[in-house]
Amino acid sequence: MTEIINIIMLNPLGSMGLLFFFGVIIASLRGWIPQDVLPVQSALMLTTLLLAILAVLFGKPINIKDITSNIFLHPITALIGGFLVAGALEAAGAFRAAIDILERTSRTPLGLPGTVAILVNMPTIFAMPCGRILAAALIPAAILFGHILAQRRKSSILASVVVFGFIVNAAASCGPSPLGGIGMVGEGMAGSLKIPGIGLGSFSNAQSIAIMLITGVTMLSISFVYRILPDESLVKAEGEAEEKVEKMEKIHISAYLSLFVFFITIAAVFILQPPIPIQTILVILVIVIMVMGDVTIQDLIGGVILHPIMAMISGFIIAGALLSIGSFDVLISLLEFLAETPLGYVGVAVLMANIPTILPMPCGRIIGMALMPGIFLLGITMANSGTFSQEVIPILLVSFIINAAASCGPSPLGGIGGIGEGNLGTEIGVSGKPQQVGIMIGTGIAALIIGVLGPI
């Protein structure tokens, strides 16, 4: 106890920064800060302002450069580019074409279970910069297949199994996205240490594979443990309406072509790794889709979602302020103290990697960006302790990133889970626990993949 007080007294400003940061996060989650009055992003901006005033009072004013230098433009511009691609794909009918392909797939030997396995993993296959893009675009397909399965197997819970499997997959899919995903920030940080094999896209596959298992575990836990029963009449009505739309709607060949061009481009970026910024490739891709699919500028703008952009910026800004006033030094000292308890470094690492899902924010980028420098420093401290190799840094980062990316699924503050709950007519927040179980397992799997196989 005296040691903790000593750590706090050594840097009271940094300690206050940590206290305010976690205080705002917890107060938002508990509903003490009403989100319709002050969303968590705005609350964090105000906290930064408060910290800047406190820093002046403590005689250590924050240099504005310290905050701005922490705003990494690359993931932000890639994220905006990704949204433009998503807008173009949506307007060109590429997502509708994907649903149509799935419908045809269900009539092959893959049948319904095979089609559902592909459908629920569609968000990670597409890997858009925000899970909300595909959650909104493909939720009708998830409801349709859930409804068909529930009817055929006479078990209404199957609609929840399919929808929430799809939802948790969508939530986590912004982690491995090459279009400005959360993983890019971690890859950049770990890459700066010149660790062999770490670079753009090096965390991507480990995250995607972990997400596949997060999805499976979430579906299993809903089916056997949490038993979330949907409002049957609502699912029936929505499923039938979607079936009618599918039958009536004709999908133009350009929609399939847009989908094909998108897949080929993303595959080429990863396989060939051209020496061109991803943003340039995305802009060219947008132009190609616009020409093929007769897409307007308004369609592109309509695809931009401000929520994750603001979340990312507020995360970067609060992280810059916390770095500047020494909060991360306090955090590392506290974690080093904790590491001396029976928890050890491994226990501390497990705890820190799971913080985003313990405190689930409406966008994983909030805690992701705000705490990533702390996680990075913890990794360096662990590597320097002599017990661990340098590989502990990417292991810790990838676990934290996948956990942060997926954490918007179970968030009660307007997380992606709410889309599924609303569509199934279940109680709000009911899908949080099974998603958290899946994410916890997936966090461990991602660490295991990087630890055993290296960046694949």
Partner 1 sequence: MAYSVKLFATAILAGIILGIMVNVSLGYKFYDRGGILGGIIVGLLIAIL
Residue bearing tokens 């503050």: 413
| CA distance readout (Å), 124 to 117, 167, 173, 178, 429 | 12, 11, 5, 11, 23
> According to the binding rule CB under 8 A, does residue 170 interact with partner 1?
no
Shortest distance, position 148 Cβ to partner 1, whole Å: 11
> According to the binding rule CB under 8 A, does residue 107 interact with partner 1?
no
Shortest distance, position 161 Cβ to partner 1, whole Å: 5
Q: Which is nearer to partner 1, 18 or 112 (CB)?
A: 112
Return d(Cα 29, Cα 304) in angstroms, integer.
26
Residues ≥6 apart with Cβ < 8 Å to 420: 139, 142, 163, 164, 166, 167, 431
DSSP for residue 82: H
Residues ≥6 apart with Cβ < 8 Å to 340: none
Q: Which is nearer to partner 1, 222 or 408 (CB)?
A: 222
| Backbone region of residue 360 per phi and psi (left: phi > 0; alpha: psi in -120 to 50; beta: other values) | beta
> According to the binding rule CB under 8 A, does residue 227 interact with partner 1?
no
> According to the binding rule CB under 8 A, does residue 110 interact with partner 1?
yes
**Nearest Cα to Cα of residue 400 among 336, 355, 341, 438:** 355
> According to the binding rule CB under 8 A, does residue 223 interact with partner 1?
yes
Return d(Cα 230, Cα 255) in angstroms, integer.
33
x/- binding map, residues 346-385, to partner 1, per CB under 8 A?
Answer: ----------------------------------------
Q: Are 406 and 172 in contact (CB under 8 A)?
A: yes
| Choices 117-125, 252-260, 355-363, 399-407 (CB under 8 A): range interacting with partner 1 | 117-125
Q: Which is nearer to partner 1, 155 or 387 (CB)?
A: 155
Report the site for partner 1 in 122-161 (rule: CB under 8 A).
Answer: 124-125, 127, 149, 153, 155, 158, 161
| Choices 121-129, 248-256, 403-411, 421-429 (CB under 8 A): range interacting with partner 1 | 121-129
Q: Are 171 and 417 in contact (CB under 8 A)?
A: yes
Q: Which is nearer to partner 1, 128 or 371 (CB)?
A: 128
Q: Which is nearer to partner 1, 128 or 366 (CB)?
A: 128
Q: Could you write out the DSSP letters of every residue in 388-431? A: S-TTHHHHHHHHHHHHHHHTTTT-TTT-THHHHHHHHT--TTTT
217, 348, 349, 371: which one contacts partner 1 (CB under 8 A)? 217
Shortest distance, position 361 Cβ to partner 1, whole Å: 26
67, 78, 86, 209: which one contacts partner 1 (CB under 8 A)? 209
Report the site for partner 1 in 230-289 (rule: CB under 8 A).
Answer: 263, 266-267, 270
Report the length, in residues, of the chain: 456
- Residue 23 identity (one-letter amino acid): G
114, 274, 277, 422: which one contacts partner 1 (CB under 8 A)? 114
Query: Residue 19 CB: number of other CB atoms within 10 A?
Result: 13
- Site size toward partner 1, by CB under 8 A: 43
Question: Which residues of this chain interact with partner 1, rule CB under 8 A?
Answer: 109-118, 120-121, 124-125, 127, 149, 153, 155, 158, 161-162, 165, 205, 208-209, 212-213, 215-217, 219-220, 222-224, 263, 266-267, 270, 449, 453-454, 456
